[in-house]
Chain A
Amino acid sequence: MQYDFHYGWLLNLICYLPLVGALITVFFINRENSRAIKWFATIITGVDFLISIPLWFLYQTDGAEFQFATKMDWIPSVGAQYIFGVDGFSILLILLTTLLGFISVYSSFTAVTDRQKEYYIFLLLLQTGMLGVFMALDFILFYVFWEVMLVPMYFLIGVWGGPRRLYAAIKFFLYTLVGSLLMLVGILALYFYNAGGLAAIGLAGLGNAPSFEIPVLYQMAPMLPAGLQFWVFLAFFVGFAIKVPMFPFHTWLPDAHVEAPTAGSVILAGVLLKMGTYGFVRLSMPLLPDATVKAVGWIGVLAIIAIVYGALVAMAQKDMKKLVAYSSVSHMGFIMLGMFALNEPGLRGSILQMLNHGVSTGALFLLVGIVYERRHNRMIAEYGGLAKVMPLYATFFLVITLSSIGLPTLNGFIGEFLILIGAFNHSWVWALFAASGIVLGAAYMLWMYQRVFFGELTNDKNKDLPDLNFREQWTLIPLIILAFWVGLFPNAFLRMMAPTVDRVLERVAVAMPEDQSAAAEVAAIAAVPDDHHEDAGE
């Protein structure tokens, strides 16, 4: 069985609650009443997070592939349906999204002072868009959510961002739009291949009922001709790689990150980038196994370039936010490398690292935002000796720095370790470069930490900076708890994602040469202690 329809309403509720909140804000809350607007948005996102927690407990690792499903006709004439459903992988990302959504709203209370009504409306709309992407299992529905979320993000950067916000906002929008429109062409090609074919270019279809249903298209994956797979993979790749962002497509990211308001950066780094990696795992790999296997080589190269290049550029940054932004390029390279190692530990580490990156980088942006709010300056050179005036802040920053560079007992370690194993299994060269990325990562993070927090308090402007207040502490504490939780008890998270990992690898294995595929299967069986069964829907 592919779908389990129990609690289907829960996903819809989680997805549309922020939308309803936004509409209520539009029509019923006066723009002067900023207190009501803020607290209403906080409550909505808080409740949204709370109601998403049951997904974690109700998900059955040995159950149907997609649970909490809803399936309805939407546009029958073209076979588009309204399908929501999640597996362990998407549940992890949904929980991350609802948590970061809540935190970004709660962290904006003092950071955003003008046009607050629009600001919170856009944050709430963004939340619905992102959640929809992780829930949708119909290509058209997926695409709708994928694009919907661009608009609020554009406004968050463009209205509340830094000095070059207009440029950064339109760049972000255009880059991602080009990517997603090309993806749409790829989607249509798959759709027609599954149905009537593309007769005019000599491609006979499979003659199935027209459908945009992703799980249905999974089944045709082994039958896709290699040529078509290549082109569709390329179309998808542009869409997802821009989002990730992978090496040659990354230039929008530093601009967008640096100009965005703190909450915007948190969501950008925490969730939006994950939409790209989510797309690879959910769509590219299982739908286009042959092209995936063939792409391993050059995606590996691009990922390695991103790791090393991102780290080196980060090291040269004078602006803290830019440093964190480039560190994202490096970390996302890691995630891609683990993913395209196409083996069990690599993919697990990659998915776990998606979560970790959301937590650590999200927290780093929050931390940079906190000091920026006090000083309106993010230059590393402006600070020094901050540990003396803001001890609590320094402690929080240290924990997050360590989590980001992968110190054992913290979350980054587990993810990076798994990715390294995966990379090593693929080739020792990959592992070598990946390891060098970790070393560089430690270098630039610790160096920044040293310059900002240690030494003498040289700048007089920093003498009277207040330490973290209650609200700021509580935006960070959930993330720090999560960092330790993943670091100390990763098994709960790995168990959640195990069924997804197995299914994806199984689908990719179709295209692998005999020996490798057998090896992957053995590795899969050996490495999974859980008792889940083969997917009955296959």
Chain B
Amino acid sequence: MSLSDFVPLIPEIFLAAAGFAILLAGISLGQRGVRTMIGAAVASLGVTAVLVVLFARPAVGPTAILGDMLVVDQFAVYVKLLVLAFSAVALLMSASYLERAGYGGGEFSSLILFATIGMFIMASGANLASLYVGLELMALSVYVLVGYFKLEIKSNEGAVKYFVLGAMSSGVLLYGISLIYGTTGSLDLETIRLKLTAVPQDNLTLLLGLVLVAFGMLFKVAAVPFHVWTPDAYEGAPTPVTAFMSVGPKAAAFAMFLRLFVIAFQPEVDTWRTVLWVAAAATMIYGNVAALTQDNVKRMLAYSSIAHAGYALMGIVAASAAGLWSVLMYMLVYGFMNLGAFGVVILLESKGYAGETIDDYAGLAARHPGAAALMLWFMLALAGIPPTAGFMGKLYIFAAAMEGGYVWLTVIAVIMSAVSLYYYFRIVVQMFMKDGSDAEPATLIHDRWTEVMIAVCAVITLLVGIYPGPVVNWAKGGLQALGMG
């Protein structure tokens, strides 16, 4: 290991430095200067994005660094840029929210930056140990973020539940990793793959290891039956944090999922496929059906995010090139449409937890047609109706599953998509078809930053929906790095 090994790591190093600087500055500012802190954090995310692109070096191909602990390839670059964008959007949406609630911005911003570093490592880890460290860095930051509103009991409750269950799942994951290490003698993903190829083992230890790692990952992406933390954590967390954790960590977890299973455990595909097939089907069915009866919008979006994890799992089950890039593409699509929807929720939360029940949306179209139209757009996108990006994302996932021969899984997915329309449209019905005279309507706050971010999400959702070519090509670029192009 030489000093030049650290050069491709400059984005992460910069981000860590920026995180500490903001943390220190935030202590001296206290509750003031929320926007300064967030502005600084977003600026450092922007600089990091430039650094990521500069050190990407697609011509060189995948570069292993730090003694093969990390790898810099197109796949990692795609995921990194994606989570950077998600973090930036979530930060910008949280400014007015933090101001209203009276919490400082320094700690908050630095936690998001640290979580982002964790996600970077998850995206580019080439070793089970480094992947685990990245995962924990991300998870610990998010536990704290969920409990960030320390005076709100709901926030505390969500954080504790998330932490206890999350810690347990990390333990399960770690145990699975140790079993895999025990059977293959290595933590290096490439070595593991070669070992598994060379000796197709049907020993129970390996099987157990694979299953436990799968369980751990299913927890992180909030798949059934490891989803129980999701609704409470999502509901309790400050809404911008909910927005963030429903997209960024999820995208990173899926990236890690892909690297582990589709690449490293590829030789054992027939072993783990069945587990994930069942998990995908159960996740889609349970997430969508449970969302039907939710009256709290954040809980509903939590179940919806469970359901979307189910769709994305279909791409992993397919375990093909198409499955892989369709998951990458889906993470982008899902991220922006979900952030947009949460943006509208944030605007509606004028005080406390208002704007959270579906009744708060009654008559929104009459009073704020713009906000209602955007919310409608995001609901259509989440339901997968063209011409939104949500449709294109689902199309590729379904196509990948069909190509892999998973016709019944696809049929379950399409029927569940139709079910999902019902609960997304409960909000639409409130907005457009109730006049809000019977309910106490929540008022919309005005915040330029959030509004601009919602518009950005809407534009991306539209552009990807009508002309997905460039994004598809970009996602496919990630595959070539993994040798599946």
Contact = CB atoms under 8 A, between A and B. Distances in A.
Interface of A: 73-78, 115, 118, 140, 143-144, 147-148, 150-151, 154-155, 158-159, 165-166, 170, 173-174, 177-178, 181-182, 184-185, 188-189, 191-192, 196, 198-201
Contacts of B407: 185, 189, 198, 201
Interface in B400-425: 402-407, 410-411, 414-415, 417-418, 421-422, 425
Interface of B: 365-366, 369, 380, 385-387, 391, 395-396, 398-399, 402-407, 410-411, 414-415, 417-418, 421-422, 425, 429, 432-433, 467-469, 472-473, 476
Contacts of B414: 178, 181-182, 184-185
10 contacts: A74-B469, A77-B472, A147-B385, A147-B391, A159-B433, A173-B425, A177-B421, A185-B407, A185-B414, A189-B407
A32 to B, nearest CB: 13
Given A188-B399, A198-B403, A148 B386 contact: yes
A223 to B, nearest CB: 19
Contacts of B398: 184-185, 188
B469 A77 contact: yes
A174 B418 contact: yes
A76 B467 CA distance: 10
A143 B433 CA distance: 27
Nearest to B404: A200
B473 A77 contact: yes
Given A173-B421, A188-B410, A77 B476 contact: yes
Contact of A182 (B386, B406, B411): B411
A219 B415 CA distance: 30
A189 B402 contact: yes
A115 B432 CA distance: 10
B429 A166 contact: yes
Contacts of B473: 77
Contacts, number: 92
Given A77-B472, A182-B414, A188-B399, A170 B422 contact: yes
A76 B471 CA distance: 12
Nearest to B415: A178
A185 B402 contact: yes
A199 B411 contact: no
Nearest to A188: B402
Given A192-B403, A199-B405, A177 B469 contact: no
B27 to A, nearest CB: 47
Contact of A192 (B395, B402, B415): B402
B385 A150 contact: yes
A201 B401 CA distance: 12
A150 to B, nearest CB: 7
B422 A174 contact: yes
A239 B386 CA distance: 16
Nearest to B429: A166
A468 to B, nearest CB: 32
A182 B417 CA distance: 11
Contacts of A155: 432
Given A184-B398, A198-B405, A75 B411 contact: no
B415 to A, nearest CB: 7
A150 B386 CA distance: 10
The residue among A115, A154, A174, A185 with the most chain B CB atoms within 10 A of its own CB is A185
A151 B399 contact: no
B329 to A, nearest CB: 10
A396 to B, nearest CB: 34
Contacts of B422: 170, 174
Contacts of A199: 405
Contact of A151 (B385, B433, B469): B385
Contact of B472 (A75, A143, A191): A75
Given A144-B386, A166-B429, A185-B414, 12 more contacts: A75-B472, A77-B469, A77-B472, A78-B472, A147-B385, A158-B432, A170-B422, A181-B417, A182-B414, A184-B398, A185-B411, A200-B404
B302 to A, nearest CB: 23
Nearest to A77: B472
Nearest to A76: B469
A409 to B, nearest CB: 44
A405 B387 CA distance: 40
The residue among A151, A159, A192 with the most chain B CB atoms within 10 A of its own CB is A151
Contacts of B406: 200
Contact of B425 (A143, A170, A178, A192): A170
A393 B60 CA distance: 79
A196 B402 CA distance: 11
A150 B384 CA distance: 13
Nearest to B376: A151
Contacts of A140: 395
B391 A201 contact: no
B74 to A, nearest CB: 15
B386 A147 contact: yes
A143 B402 contact: no
B469 A148 contact: no
A166 B430 CA distance: 11
Contacts of B410: 185, 188
Contacts of B469: 73-77
B404 to A, nearest CB: 5
Closest 3 CB pairs of A and B: A200-B405, A181-B414, A144-B386
Contacts of A143: 386
A75 B389 CA distance: 13
Contacts of B369: 118
A191 B467 CA distance: 20
A166 B404 CA distance: 39
A147 B429 CA distance: 19
Nearest to B476: A77
A100 B405 CA distance: 43
Contacts of B472: 75, 77-78
Contacts of A74: 467, 469
A460 B363 CA distance: 39
A260 to B, nearest CB: 14
A480 B476 CA distance: 56
Nearest to B373: A26
The residue among A76, A174, A177, A201 with the most chain B CB atoms within 10 A of its own CB is A177
A77 B468 CA distance: 10
A78 B469 CA distance: 9
A201 B407 CA distance: 9
Contacts of A115: 366
A188 B396 CA distance: 10
A195 to B, nearest CB: 9
Contact of B399 (A73, A78, A148, A201): A78
B418 A181 contact: yes
A155 B425 CA distance: 11
Contacts of B429: 158, 166, 170
Nearest to A176: B418
A201 B405 contact: yes
B136 to A, nearest CB: 36
A315 to B, nearest CB: 34
Nearest to A202: B405
A170 B380 CA distance: 14
A115 B467 CA distance: 32
B433 A158 contact: yes
Contacts of B396: 78
A480 to B, nearest CB: 36
B417 A144 contact: no
Nearest to B469: A75
A71 to B, nearest CB: 16
A188 B468 CA distance: 18
A154 B415 CA distance: 19
A343 B169 CA distance: 65
Contact of A198 (B402, B415, B433, B476): B402
Contacts of B404: 200
Nearest to A145: B386
A73 B432 CA distance: 37
A151 B381 CA distance: 12
B477 to A, nearest CB: 11
Contacts of A159: 432-433
